[in-house]
A and B are shown apart, each in its own frame.
Chain A
Amino acid sequence: MIKVKNLEKSFGDLHVLKDINYHFKKGKTTVIIGSSGSGKSTLLRCINMLEKPDSGDILLEDTLINYSKNINAIRQRIGMVFQSFNLFSNMTVLNNVTYALRVVKKESIAKANNKALELLEKVGILDKKDNYPNTLSGGQQQRVAIARALAMNPDVMLFDEPTSALDPEMVSEVLEVMKKLTHTGLTNIIVSHEMGFAKEVADEIIYMDEGKIIEHNDALTFFNQPSTKRAQEFLQKIL
């Protein structure tokens, strides 16, 4: 689904991504783990060009994402959920979800509303549809953000530490929603620190350190018998 080839990225003197190569397979859920500063969020943000790679290629199926003239057309096919929710603060929950349908996909208000209501029900927040984001809890906001991304009917979903900014008691409500998105044909790429969740939902695990992919493996193997020493040490520290 998404192929990353020889990806390099630096912020000034800081070399964040070093020769990243990976093939995110269609319909699979890949969880990227690693300590902070290892480049995992940057890798995710390069996939929809929120960060511009210095060199290397990123392909969505056969379309080259970087160097693409029409990045907005590609972004419609890639949904993104952020650590800090980033809902549009001047729009109600319903309008947050319908906004891109109306202005990007040019759907009618009625059609967009129908789709949004269906998704809001799916993430369990239909009763808050007329609220503004700042009246919702973090967990509720994040579920709206997931509905907003899903409304565009993307092929790929990117999750950038979706539960890191949440109070502990709200983590599970968001993870439950995310779980429902696995094995649905959607390609999920998740940066997360929730190891239990990763173990449960991931088809593939990528372990990153200092801007490199140190190990990638299926989840069962990775958590039971990681093949690299650094991954072993990392798991020992956090589990």
Chain B
Amino acid sequence: MSDLFNYDSISPWIPYLSKGLGYTLLIALLASILGVAIGVMLTLMSRHKQLSKISYFYIDIFRGTPILLQLSIIYFAIPKLVDTLVNDMMHLDIAITLSAFSAAIITFSLNSGAYISEIIRSGINSVSKGEIEAAEALGVSKYHMYKDIILPIAFKNSFPALMNEFITLVKESSIVSIIGLQDLMRRQQIVTSQTYMYFEPLIVVGIIYYLVIKVLTITGRKVEKRLQYD
């Protein structure tokens, strides 16, 4: 056993590895909050004649390319591009930097916004036409209809999909390790480079991911049950 999994060698590193969970969860949490805001905005835009084209284009691009590419463009390419535009072409000397953390939050928010808008849109479509007509027939205003009937029902119906998106974010946030943010995956790489151990830190990080996602899944199911109207 000790040859396969050297617990004594990895145990001093476990606290260091666990701290990576902070970044992992913070990125997922901030990105999902901002993602919901972007998602609602895109959904509202998609109901407008001209703006719907922008919304469609945005969603198409973000769903049609890998997030690793999006992160690389935002972290490596765009600061360089802005730097060239501002300093070289306008002959200025302004320091253009984007921290790895900001780049991660921006990328994941923009990316999940595209997915969340699709979730919200299908949630709204799931509200029965009859309930909306009943509200209309009672003289209820559009504002109250959205606030009290359409959005609450849409939210309830799309909760499982939103939870799923959050879990996806927790897992996908692991790619921020490529820009040096010290999340779980990045810390594993650091431990590996210091100790020449691969298996042990990977297993520890894997267990942490698995447990966190298990807790999220179970909590999600409980909330989902409580949201049922019966």
Contact = CB atoms under 8 A, between A and B. Distances in A.
A88 B149 contact: yes
A86 B131 contact: yes
A80 interface: yes
Most buried by A among B138, B140, B148: B138
A238 interface: no
B136 to A, nearest CB: 6
Contacts of A113: none
A87 B134 contact: yes
Interface residues of B, number: 20
A132 interface: yes
A148 B130 CA distance: 15
A29 to B, nearest CB: 19
Nearest to A135: B230
A153 B130 CA distance: 21
B149 A90 contact: yes
B113 to A, nearest CB: 26
B139 A72 contact: yes
A18 interface: no
A134 B229 contact: yes
A133 B148 CA distance: 16
A152 interface: yes
Nearest to B149: A88
A88 B152 CA distance: 11
A227 B80 CA distance: 87
B176 interface: no
A190 to B, nearest CB: 15
B135 A88 contact: yes
A50 B136 contact: yes
Interface in B131-183: 131, 133-141, 144, 148-149, 152-153, 156
B71 to A, nearest CB: 39
Interface stretch (A2-10, A98-106, A120-128): A98-106
A131 to B, nearest CB: 8
Contacts of B156: 90
Contacts of B153: 89-90
Contacts, number: 74
Interface string B110-135: 00000000000000000010110111
Contacts of B229: 89-90, 132-134
A21 interface: no
Interface string A73-113: 11110111010111111100000000110011000000000
Nearest to B152: A90
Contact of B138 (A84, A100, A132, A135): A100
Nearest to A45: B133
Contacts of A163: none
A84 B141 CA distance: 22
A142 interface: no
Chain A CB within 10 A, most for which of B131, B144, B152, B156: B131
A115 to B, nearest CB: 14
A104 B131 contact: no
Contact of B131 (A71, A88, A103): A88
Contacts of B149: 88, 90
B230 A134 contact: yes
Contact of A103 (B137, B144, B152, B230): B144
A82 B136 contact: no
Q: Which 10 A-B pairs have the closest CB atoms?
A: A86-B130, A86-B134, A75-B139, A100-B138, A72-B139, A80-B137, A132-B229, A76-B139, A103-B144, A104-B139
Given A88-B134, A90-B153, A149-B137, 6 more contacts: A79-B137, A86-B131, A89-B229, A100-B135, A104-B144, A132-B230
12 contacts: A72-B139, A75-B137, A76-B138, A85-B130, A88-B135, A90-B156, A99-B138, A100-B138, A100-B139, A104-B139, A135-B230, A149-B138
